[in-house]
Amino acid sequence: MPDITIQAADGSGAFSAYCATPASGSGPGIVVLQENFGVNQVMRDLCDGFAAEGYIAVAPDLFWRIEPGVQLTDKSQAEWDKVFELMSAFLPDFEKGVGDIAHIRAMDGWTGKVGAVGYCLGGGLAYATACFTNAGACSGDYPVQIEGSLDMAGGIKKPLILCVAELDGFCPPEAQEKIKWTLSANDHVTVHSYANVDHAFARVGGDHFDAAAAQAANGRMPELFKASLA
């Protein structure tokens, strides 16, 4: 399906989102939250996969206030340089990004509840979505930069799964321990650790892709969403 256009909740403009719809034309919703590479082919393929399982999957362009239409890969140094530039520019807009996500969840066409799944930057946003919205369920793979905002976890009232890579250089061991220890107090949160794998272990075609770990992490999401979004 072509990209759709969504008006921003704060009235500052409009942004695009890739939308994949199941053959039935309706279903529960999943907001797919991008990595730092934008709404690239990896994110679009993920949306298509969720649509094949019966969900309406929407991947919003969260960098739209900085540079609309970003679609990078992890295959060149120039693209990595751009990734870190975009990440630095996005962080001051983090709360606006969460507002965009909450606004998307109110769009027409969903049936049943709406959940969110994110990767890397999107993993951190999935955590924030669980903290600040009533999303039916959220899942975050190798989330980044949440160890400094664990005081928000009291707002989590629905299921949240986080999949942490033990060798993740963007989430070092001390951060991982803080995350696990703090979130263990919330019965709605489950943190899974994956030994001997690095950041982005589930990104197909990526340097750190690990088929076994990806299968295990991806296998948890259908169970989560089936139980929570009906």
| Residues tagged active-site | 168, 199
Return the structure tokens found at 88. 């630095």
Q: Which residues of 55-89 are buried (b: 16+ CB within 10 A; e: fewer)?
A: bbbbbbbbbbbbeeebebebeeeeeeebbeebbee
Helix (H) and strand (E) counts for the chain?
Answer: 6, 8
For residues 75 and 98, give the distance between their C-alpha atoms in angstroms, rounded to a whole number.
28
Sort 91 into a burial class: Cβ within 10 Å, 0-12 / 13-18 / 19+: exposed
- 158 three-class SS: coil
- The residue whose two tokens read 């750190």 is 208
Q: Checking DSSP bridges between strand 14-20 and strand 4-7, what pairing results, if any?
A: antiparallel
